[in-house]
Chains A and B, each alone.
Chain A
Amino acid sequence: MIEKLNHLSRRDAVLTSAAGLGIAAVALTSGVARAQSADDSAVLKALIKAERNAIKTYEAGAGVIDAAPTTDGLNAYRGIVKAIALHFRAQHVDHEAKLVKYLTSQGGTDDVGAGTAQIPSGFVANIKNVVDLATNAERAAAIAYTDVQKSITKAENAELAAAIGSDETMHFVVLQLVARGFVVPAAATQGKTADELASAAAKFAARSFVVTIDGAPGLDDPTLAYYDVTQ
């Protein structure tokens, strides 16, 4: 995996200048979406492609974490970082599924193909750089999802894009707090495996959507309790 990451072509890096989901921004600013303004299929397809790329990128990142030596600067936190990466990956899977459903239910065809990991040229394989890569990708995704509001025609697609985009802003802010060295994961997570920390990681962005989408719960989920402020 590391060898693969270190040999990605310059062309791939240029295509994904912002890393990760940057391809969505590329597609959406190239006029593709505006050229097909009669429906939202071009926008939805760009977002599907971006989600598939994000899924693959997180998978590649998890591989880097697994392969990192014990001398890695974040070795003590490898378990929680991987658990968070897998949690965020799972949320991207949820996003992709809903986007596909919306596209096909509106008469579109899912013909965008598989995703590919978006690794920038010069990427050095270690845990910190995986966090940095994911931070960059989620920031680009959050911006792209917001910007597509200027192109989307149908209200339900606008709702979906906002519900996903604001989840990805949560991914971004959590990752950037670690990337910038403002916080570290709780000490109790040190030395534990990703499997052991899956439930803790799931508390970072507790739902895949901000509002319930087609039966998939959002932050409006009544089973997600609000905090009691009377104790």
Chain B
Amino acid sequence: MTSKGNDPMTVNKDSLNRRSLLRGAAVVGATAAVAAACGAAPTSTTVDAGSGSDAGVNPDIANLNALLSAEYKAIDAYTQGAGVLAADSSDLGKLVLAVAVEFQSDHKAHAALLDHTITSLGGTPTTAAENKFTLPAGFKASTPNVMKLACNAERAAAVAYNQVLKGLTTKNNRFIAAAIEGDETQHYVVLAALIEGLVTPTANLTATSNADKVVPQSYVSATTDLGGAAGLQAESDQATNDMM
């Protein structure tokens, strides 16, 4: 098993814009959920098809572009959140930052696969520059709030993937969506467990040890043959004959 990569993250929280938040946050087809997460009234469940102008060529291109848009916004959201986390010198703050970097890396992998898939279908992928995340109005910067923001976004993203999946017309595209969706539910539940204080990290999990193994792969099942990467097949089974 290899590490999923640790790209440095930078801060960018200048462009607060409530309208653009409602348009995208982390999601497609779940705008209402995202709005609710941020305290705004749900306004739309319309799928944001991104900027691709050729959505009519293949019926899946628009939906995949919408998912790609959401991934880019999630990547940017983690970048912005990292700026808050970097100011927290506590062990928990450092751990959360390390885990956030890993989750962001997963989203980068998802974006790359979606970009590849859209291109393969003859579409024009939307770009990172076109899809920046806007922090919710009233957001108060703190480590717990960054965790909550990410948790909300991951949950909404998982819902969106499930909703979009139903409308995809090819089995391989549904497979890709499902392989990503299950990764995002893992992000969601890990963050929720930490926020709720349901679990306590041990000495085996620190900012410099095993953060990349919290959610061990970017996909539930391997997407390698479709241009992606390894799935949970790459993980070994736990031994069930330990004597304790």
Contacts and interface: CB of A to CB of B under 8 A. Distances in A.
B204 interface: yes
B152 A186 contact: no
Given A123-B240, A139-B235, A156-B166, A219 B38 contact: no
B116 interface: no
B238 A135 contact: yes
B210 A72 contact: no
Q: Looking at A142, A169, A228, which has the most chain B CB atoms within 10 Å of its CB?
A: A169
Contacts of A165: 178, 182, 220
A115 B38 CA distance: 43
Contacts of B199: 177-178, 183-186
A174 B171 contact: no
A1 interface: no
A152 interface: yes
Nearest to A171: B189
Nearest to A144: B221
A53 to B, nearest CB: 16
B179 interface: yes
B202 A219 contact: no
A193 interface: no
Chain B, interface size category, equals 35 or more
Q: Would you call the interface of chain B mostly helix, strand, loop, or mixed?
A: helix
A35 interface: no
A182 B148 CA distance: 21
A169 B182 contact: yes
Interface string A142-166: 1101110111100110110111011
A219 B165 CA distance: 16
A19 interface: yes
A122 to B, nearest CB: 5
Contacts of A132: 238-240, 242
12 contacts: A122-B241, A128-B244, A143-B221, A163-B162, A169-B186, A182-B201, A182-B214, A183-B201, A185-B199, A203-B193, A218-B162, A228-B39
Given A158-B166, A169-B183, 18 more contacts: A73-B244, A142-B232, A143-B232, A149-B177, A158-B168, A161-B178, A162-B174, A162-B178, A166-B178, A173-B214, A180-B204, A204-B189, A210-B159, A210-B162, A219-B155, A227-B148, A230-B136, A230-B145
Interface of A: 18-19, 72-74, 120, 122-124, 126-129, 131-133, 135-136, 139, 142-143, 145-147, 149-152, 155-156, 158-159, 161-163, 165-170, 172-174, 176-187, 200, 203-206, 210-211, 218-220, 222, 226-231
